[in-house]
Amino acid sequence: MASLWGGRFEKDMDEIVKEFNASIFFDQRMYNEDIDGSIAHVTMLGKQGIVTEEEAQQIIGGLEEIRSEIAAGKIQFTVDDEDIHMGIESRLIEKIGEVGKKLHTARSRNDQCQVDGRLYLKRQIREILGELARLEQVILDKAEQYAEDITVGFTHIQHAQPITVGFLFMAYFQMFRRDMERLQDTLKRMDLNPLGACALAGTTLPTDRFLTTELLGFRAPTENAMDSVSDRDYSLEFLSDASISMMHISRWAEEFAWWNSSEFSYIAIDDSYCTGSSIMPQKKNPDMAELLRGKCGRVYGDMMQLFTVMKGTPLAYNKDFQEDKESLFDAVDTWKACIRIFAGMLEKTEFRMDMIQKQLGKGFLNATDIAEHLAKQGIPFREAHSIVGRMVKACEHKGCDFDGLSDEDLRAIDPRVSTEVLGDISIPACVDARTSFGGTAPSEVRRQIQVGREWLHHVMQAEKETE
């Protein structure tokens, strides 16, 4: 197949160069976006009188036939197609003849690939927002289920304070909420139409970029043609969003791996999300959690790959930019799959409250609550902090918890302290008392859940209205 750009060349490309140069084997996934962009473009050419209305309709008909043929698997692209843009255009010319050669008037592959990329990513972002919304719904339901169940809160991987399981779930809810908000912000910034920027400087032909903007559902046309064809910020921003979100998944997956261990036994992951050992018949491995943790590094790599490609590229277009697609596609596929897998695993995981209960007596989880209780009795907090520290030391010497200290023990530490002064220092009482805004008390967790449900409902309603 003769190249559509080879007029000034005397030789064909070497076969190994063709293979090295081609992007068709990965960018063909954007055939729908490419055809949508071409239909909008030729519609505009017809309205502007750059081609006749009859020619425009003939081209549109040919493009729709090609779309159907690709979807049905009747078209197999080869290295000679070079990329999805040339692959579709060459078949259009074969199908409808000379008039097909008018499609590329007033555009370049430079702006064409940008149109395809932005349309593709807009669709993918909306799908990923849907997956994140489902994950958030699972988190809210689980938080409701475990709103009153108490577990161990850690700092420095050590027992710190008692919290509810629902409180922990709502902490992750906030992380994924920010992930969704970042994606929404990215979508706003990238929702600009580069079509008509051409190679880098616009065109002398009387095009209407506002019409193609409306036809393709963009918010506005891009302002500067040179920036339009050389910009990959939207892909980098998406990859950054993906990396942050995958880090959140990896953090929770790490906790799943801990909690599933024999040392913790905090959770029971459903068999459908675990694997066994080929040699140890007793094993039930949290492989999905571990794989989710590992996939995070893959998406980080996708982000760094594109940052590295872009860092030394002068204006305007450079062939380096062809390397923007594989990392983007990989991150889209990986992130989407990980959200879906994680939501399913989370939904089918139950907390073993009987095993967690055994851990609540370790590590003096209520120490901070006692210090705060003493502060409420008028003892300066720094003094209260020191008193409780000495109480811990006394417990360690006696081999008991706080409730094992007698009035004599307490007065030896500080005459202002007694069992009567301490009052109810049980773990449930401490958790119930943490009613500060954003705290772990069940009543406050339920407030957070309600706010979360209202926010998620509003987001999903807004998404439906934009479809």
* 3-class state of residue 14 by DSSP: coil
Q: What is the pLDDT of residues 300-347, one digit of tens each?
A: 999 999 999 999 999 999 999 999 999 999 999 999 999 999 999 999
Distances (CA, A) of 41 to 31, 71, 105, 208, 374: 15, 22, 9, 9, 73
pLDDT at 6: 55
Quick one: CA torsion of 84, 85, 91, 97, rounded to 10 degrees? 180
d(CA 167, CA 449): 9
pLDDT at 282: 84
Task: Please name which of 194, 28, 191, 39 lies closest in space to residue 111, comparing C-alpha atoms.
Answer: 194
Task: Please name which of 314, 138, 346 lies closest in space to residue 230, comparing C-alpha atoms.
Answer: 314
Structure tokens at 103: 């499609």
**Spans of the chain, pLDDT less than 70:** 1-11, 13
Structure tokens at 77: 């692209």
> Domains in the chain, start-ordered, CATH in brackets?
15-105 (1.10.275.10), 110-145+164-357 (1.20.200.10), 367-425 (1.10.40.30)
Question: Tell me, what DSSP letter sits at residue 313?
Answer: P
d(CA 4, CA 87): 10
Q: Which of 156, 272, 397, 436 is catalytic?
A: 156
**Interior angle at CA 150, CA 148 and CA 155, nearest 5:** 135
pLDDT at 66: 98
Q: Which residues of 440-463 are buried (b: 16+ CB within 10 A; e: fewer)?
A: bbbebbbbbbeebeeebeebbeee
CB 241 within 8 A of CB 179: yes
CB 133 within 8 A of CB 460: yes
Distances (CA, A) of 48 to 53, 109, 209, 367: 9, 21, 11, 76
**pTM for this one?**
0.93
Q: Which of 68, 277, 406, 443 is catalytic?
A: 277
Task: Please name which of 301, 300, 339, 344 lies closest in space to residue 127, comparing C-alpha atoms.
Answer: 339
Residue 277 annotated in active site: yes
Residue 228 annotated in active site: no
Q: What secondary structure does DSSP assign to 116-163, as a single string? A: HHHHHHHHHHHHHHHHHHHHHHHHHHHHHHTSS-EEEEEETTEEEEEE
Structure tokens at 82: 């070079």
Structure tokens at 444: 């406050």
Q: Residue holding tokens 């992380």? A: 175
* 3-class state of residue 2 by DSSP: coil
The CB density around residue 156, as the number of other CB atoms within 10 Å, is 6
d(CA 75, CA 171): 49
d(CA 132, CA 122): 15
Quick one: CA torsion of 310, 312, 317, 323, rounded to 10 degrees? -40
The gap from C-alpha 270 to its chain's centroid, in whole angstroms, comes to 24
pLDDT at 277: 83
pLDDT at 11: 63
d(CA 320, CA 232): 11
**Is the torsion defined by CA of 144, 150, 154, 157 positive or negative?**
negative
Sorted by sequence, the CB contacts under 8 Å of residue 442 that are 6+ apart come out as: 147, 148, 164, 166, 431, 432
pLDDT at 134: 98
